[in-house]
């Protein structure tokens, strides 16, 4: 069976046309945009969840729907590596230029940003927002009036603005950012002229905690929307729908295998789905395809996510030796300290306590509440499979 492309996108936000699930969360976000436009109000949401849970993909889809359904100007701004408000506003306005260049309201945008609009790139095919440090500082202070002026210049072509500030790692710990957010909300709420703005923050739970620590009022200012793992029914539906988009059937037995090893994490769903798609040769995903794909995905995920995180910490020979003996079966993700004691050497046994503590800190294993003290389970069955495959490839 010839394959032109995979419908799965491991490691990057999902294209809108292949987004599956999260109907309730998307509807909730778009509903807040509608409220902002109708009431000409400021709406505030914090999208939170574990790494790889699909926060960016969710925001991307909600923004696209809001643009089409409620005629808002949508900006999805990634702030990786940003640790100052000045760089944040520069990226926001640069994204505004890039999103508006081929739109009918570009003249209005350019009129607001004025002399700071510059052609960029080798052939001048993109636009950048260039301003001095002092000008950027002033823009930080005048952020709300600038957005209000922007909407006025658009002459009704857009009814509001939706801004997603994504990847807050650098800014969340800055007290200045937290206080700026609180001041922005207060300024818009008390202004005589309304501003229909939907402001969405997206980040890990600890980023939200950092913001609240620096400015406790943000706890009530931003409504949290937690993105959770898919359950079994959602996972199976995900695979049914996404394979259907490329005319591939998937057997129920294969769906059960993919659910078991994905754990409901979207990033893992895509890694496994991509490997299974490549393994299939007849347009029908059966048990053999699923198992082959899971084994391939375990190797990929191990290299991408486990080795950089775990092997840089579990660096000693004794630790590595335990790691190779921790899983005795390819499809077993639980173990007990007592059983592990029987498989390791006396020298390894002396560091076993510290070894288990480090794996817990890295969120690779957790106590198995169902079986009691001294029993553990891997946080993902793919982790267990990866370690088994590594051990099978070479002994200690």
Q: Which of 111, 128, 110 lies closest to 119, judged by CA?
A: 128
d(CA 26, CA 317): 48
pLDDT at residue 396 is higher than 60:
no
State which of 310, 338, 361 marks the end of a domain: 310
Query: Is residue 1 domain-resident?
Result: no
Choosing from 163, 195, 226, the residue where a domain stops is 226
* Residue 308 or 266, more confident: 266
- For residue 8, is it within any domain? no
How many residues in the chain?
A: 396
Same domain as 56, residue 84: yes
Model confidence at 45: pLDDT above 90: yes
Task: Specify if 79 maps to a domain.
Answer: yes
If asked whether residues 251 and 280 sit together in one domain, one would say: yes
Note the pLDDT of residue 222.
94
Q: Which domain holds residue 26?
A: 22-226
Whether 292 and 329 map to the same domain: the answer is no
CATH number at residue 245: 1.10.8
Kindly state whether residues 303 and 317 are assigned to the same domain. no
Q: What is the mean pLDDT of residues 24-29?
A: 91
- In this structure, is residue 285 part of a structural domain? yes
- Domain count of the fold of the chain: 3
Q: What is the dihedral of CA 250, 254, 257, 263, to 10 degrees?
A: 10
Based on the fold, state whether residues 86 and 211 are members of the same structural domain: yes
The C-alpha R_g of the chain, in whole angstroms, comes to 25
Q: Report the CATH number at residue 375.
A: 1.10.10
Q: Which residue has the tokens 């695979």?
A: 239
Does residue 17 lie in a domain region? Answer: no
Within-domain flag for 7: no
Q: What is the percent of the chain where pLDDT is above 90? A: 44
pLDDT tens for 85-140 read 999 999 999 999 988 988 988 888 888 888 888 877 655 567 888 889 899 999 99
Say if residue 288 is in the same domain as residue 222. no
Closest to 98 measured CA to CA, from 83, 82, 84, 113: 113
The pLDDT score that the predictor gives to residue 18 is 63
**Residue 4: band (very low, low, confident or very high) from pLDDT cuts 50, 70, 90:** low
CATH code at position 77: 3.40.50.300
Domain boundary (310, 331, 357) is at 310
* Same domain for 302 and 217: no
On whether residue 58 sits in a domain, the answer given is yes
Same domain, 153 and 36: yes
Same domain, 33 and 73: yes
- Say if residue 279 is in the same domain as residue 222: no
Q: What is the pLDDT of residue 395?
A: 40
Q: Is the pLDDT of residue 1 over 60?
A: no
* Residue 317 predicted with pLDDT over 50: yes
Instruction: Assess if residue 384 is contained within a domain.
Output: yes
E strand or H helix that includes residue 198: strand 197-203
In the numeric block, the tokens 């503590």 are attached to 357
Residues 106 and 205 in one domain: yes
């Amino acid at each position: 069976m010839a394959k032109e492309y995979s419908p799965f996108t491991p490691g990057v936000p999902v294209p809108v046309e292949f987004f599956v699930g999260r109907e309730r969360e998307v509807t909730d976000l778009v509903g807040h945009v509608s409220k902002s436009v109708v009431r000409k109000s400021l709406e505030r949401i914090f999208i939170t969840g574990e790494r790889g849970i699909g926060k960016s993909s969710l925001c991307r889809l909600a923004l696209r729907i809001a643009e089409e359904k409620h005629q808002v100007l949508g900006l999805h701004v990634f702030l990786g590596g940003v640790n100052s408000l000045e760089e944040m506003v520069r990226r926001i306005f640069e994204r505004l230029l890039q999103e508006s260049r081929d739109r009918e309201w570009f003249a209005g945008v350019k009129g607001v940003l004025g002399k700071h609009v510059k052609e960029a790139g080798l052939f001048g095919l993109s636009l950048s927002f260039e301003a001095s440090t002092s000008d950027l500082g002033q823009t930080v202070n005048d952020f709300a009036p600038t957005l209000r002026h922007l909407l006025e210049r658009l002459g009704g072509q857009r009814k509001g603005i939706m801004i997603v500030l994504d990847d807050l790692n650098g800014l969340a710990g800055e007290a200045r950012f937290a206080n700026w957010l609180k001041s922005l909300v207060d300024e818009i709420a008390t202004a005589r002229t309304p501003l229909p703005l939907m402001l969405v923050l997206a980040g890990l739970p600890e980023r939200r905690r950092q913001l609240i620590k620096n400015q406790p009022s943000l706890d009530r200012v931003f409504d949290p929307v937690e993105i959770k793992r898919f359950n079994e029914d959602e996972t199976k539906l995900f695979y049914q729908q996404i394979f259907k988009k490329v005319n591939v059937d998937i057997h129920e037995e294969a769906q059960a295998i993919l659910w078991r090893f994905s754990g409901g994490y979207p990033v893992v769903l895509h890694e496994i789905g991509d490997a299974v798609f490549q393994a299939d040769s007849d347009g029908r995903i059966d048990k053999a395809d699923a198992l082959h794909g899971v084994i391939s995905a375990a190797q990929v995920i191990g290299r991408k996510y486990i080795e950089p995180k775990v092997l840089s910490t579990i660096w000693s020979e004794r630790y590595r030796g335990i790691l190779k003996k921790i899983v005795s079966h390819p499809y077993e993700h639980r173990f007990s300290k007592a059983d592990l004691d029987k498989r390791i050497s006396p020298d390894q046994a002396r560091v076993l306590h510290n070894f288990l503590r480090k794996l817990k800190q890295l969120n690779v294993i957790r106590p198995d509440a169902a079986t009691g003290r001294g029993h553990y389970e891997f946080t993902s069955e793919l982790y267990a499979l990866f370690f088994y495959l590594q051990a099978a490839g070479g002994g200690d």
